[in-house]
Every structure is written in structure tokens, then in C-alpha cells.
Amino acid sequence: MSLDIFLDDQELISRIQKLKKERNAVILAHSYERPEIQDIADYVGDSLELSRLAAKTDADVIVFCSVHFMAETAKILSPQKTVLLPAAEAGCPLADMITPTQLAIKKAEHPNAAVVAYVNCSAEIKAMADVCCTSANAVQVVDAMPQDEILFVPDQHLGRWVQTQTDKKIILWAGCCPTHQRMKVKDILDLKQQYPDAEVIVHPESNKDICDLANAILSTSQMLRYCQASESKTFVICTEMGMLHRLRTAMPDKTFLQPSKGLICPNMKMTQLEDVYESLKELQHPIEIPEPIRIKALQALNGMLAAVPLK
């Protein structure tokens, strides 16, 4: 660890900005990142939004402040660019709940099913899928598949929610996001009692009993647009707490509440200003994907974009 890591935040931010110019880099941050990371980012968004932005920019270096599978997705779409994950150990427990061997066994059990992979999975799993989806377009992607049976991986809650919206038979994988599992019905009901006019906005990675309380079930990018368009002034936001910073920054005149204390994804909070600085200074930690896997994973991502073009 270098000594200049003990710089104060202002000095770190100014060095980050200087290095960013020198490297022709762009900084992307997921909506669940720490507030100070969101504030220094060029763009804040959800994983696919950011990966597509990364593919479009003229930057040579993409500093992707998030978790491993998201930086990987950017690399799949932009192989010629240097994609850096500032906190090398930032993974995703949901993405780790499926391995290529496990998926191969399940695919053999359901030879007629199309594999639809939520983007929250590794490049290897994407490469084995027929198509990818996000939480924003999962229903449309599933409906666009010619098969009647869908093996939906790895998030069981998103898959269960998709099942309520489609006639296709969804075969669920037993994965889940540990952060979204922590929400409690009682905490939401307590807030609703205190703020009866508040709308309850729920991410589809949440349990069914939480989804049952929702005014709207939305991805993080949809949440932003929904709250901007809504006439409501108060919202109970049922997802990782970083999203509140994004919503409050975009809509300072509205009130955003979180139902359960400590709804934090520890992996999303690993990236600190020091990591971004070191990442730009030393070009660490670059994402590498074997080309045969990248090409197949790209086909699954492109299949999604062909089925449901992103706006």
C-alpha cells in the first residue's frame, strides 16, 4: 500500500480528477455504491445501463465502481478497453450461487428449456445461457423466447415475479440476494402507518411477502423514473440503501425512506476513494475474460438487446 493513500478526501478527489484526464478514463458507479463514490462518478446507474455507456464512450479506461460481474459485463461489451474494478475482492453472493457445473447438470435435466440468465451472474454462466435479462426487462425477454419452458437463473425471486407476469413455465434456480432478504414486512408496515400516503417501491430481488406490499415492483433505473413521474412526495424504497442517495440527489424535494436499518450490500460498499485513486494510478484491477467465453456471453447479451432494445 502506498503512503499517499493517507491523503484527505479533497486531495484524493482532485488527484482522481487529474489522473482521470491523463488516462482518458471514465468513472462509473452503481446506484448501491457509497455516496462519495457516486458523487465523483461520471455516471451512476444500474449494471447494464453503465456497461452500455462504457461501450459508447471514447474513454480508453473504464473504472467500474461496483462488483465483479458488473465490470465483467462491461468488458464483454468493450473488449478493446481497459476495464478496472477498484476493489478486487468485491463480488456478489447471488452471482456465486451458480457454477457452470451446476448449470450444466440442470440444463441436462431440462433439455427443452431456454436458459435465461439475469445479468447478476459470471461471464461463464452468461456464456452458457440462451439469453440474458435485467430486472427491468426480464418479463419481455422471457416472453420473446420461442420455448415454452424457461430455466431462469440465478435469482429465484426475480424468476418467481416473472412467473406471475407470463404464461411460460419458469423453472427456478435457488439463488437469492442476501441483502434484499433482510427486509422485514413489519418494518414496511410500521413506515406505512407513520406515512400513510407513501408509495412502497420494491426491487424484484425481494421476497414475495415484501413484493405483496408494493405499489410498484421496479428495477433501480425504473425506480428513478417512476419517482420522478409520480405525484407522491414520500416513498418507501425497498432496496439497497445506496439507492436513496441517488434518489435524494435527483429529487431533493421528495422524501425517501428505507424500511429496515442496515440494508447494505457489503460488497457494494467495499470501493472507497482510495481504491479509485489507486486503481487509476496503477491501472488495477483489470478484468480479463477468455475470448471464447466472452464471445458466447456477448451473444447472450446481444440476444437480450435484440429481444428488448434498451431505451
The closest of 150, 235, 131, 250 to 188, measured between CA atoms, is 235
Stretch that binds ligand SF4, among 146-154, 175-183, 188-196, 285-293 (CB under 6 A): 175-183
Indicate whether 179 belongs to the interface with ligand SF4 (CB under 6 A): yes
Q: Taking a C-beta distance cutoff of 8 angstroms, is the pair 86, 66 a contact?
A: no
The closest of 227, 267, 222 to 249, measured between CA atoms, is 227
Counting residues that bind ligand SF4 (by CB under 6 A) gives: 13
Nearest residue (CB) to ligand SF4, 79 versus 93: 93
Q: C-beta of 271: minimal distance to ligand SF4 in Å?
A: 12
Residues 58-77 that bind ligand SF4 (CB under 6 A): 67
Q: C-beta of 30: minimal distance to ligand SF4 in Å?
A: 8
Interface residue with ligand SF4, options 44, 74, 170, 177 (CB under 6 A):
177
Nearest residue (CB) to ligand SF4, 67 versus 297: 67
Nearest residue (CB) to ligand SF4, 179 versus 258: 179
| 85 φ/ψ angles, rounded to the nearest 5 degrees | -110, 105
Q: C-beta of 33: minimal distance to ligand SF4 in Å?
A: 10
Nearest residue (CB) to ligand SF4, 71 versus 265: 265
Between vectors from CA 157 to CA 143 and to CA 260, what angle results, nearest 5°? Answer: 140
Here's the x/- map for ligand SF4, 105-144, by CB under 6 A: it reads as: ---------------x------------------------
Nearest residue (CB) to ligand SF4, 67 versus 103: 67
Residues 180-239 that bind ligand SF4 (CB under 6 A): none
Interface residue with ligand SF4, options 76, 94, 127, 162 (CB under 6 A):
94
Stretch that binds ligand SF4, among 4-12, 124-132, 255-263, 264-272 (CB under 6 A): 264-272
| 158 φ/ψ angles, rounded to the nearest 5 degrees | -60, -40
Residues that bind ligand SF4 (CB under 6 A): 32, 67, 92-94, 120, 177-179, 240, 265, 267-268
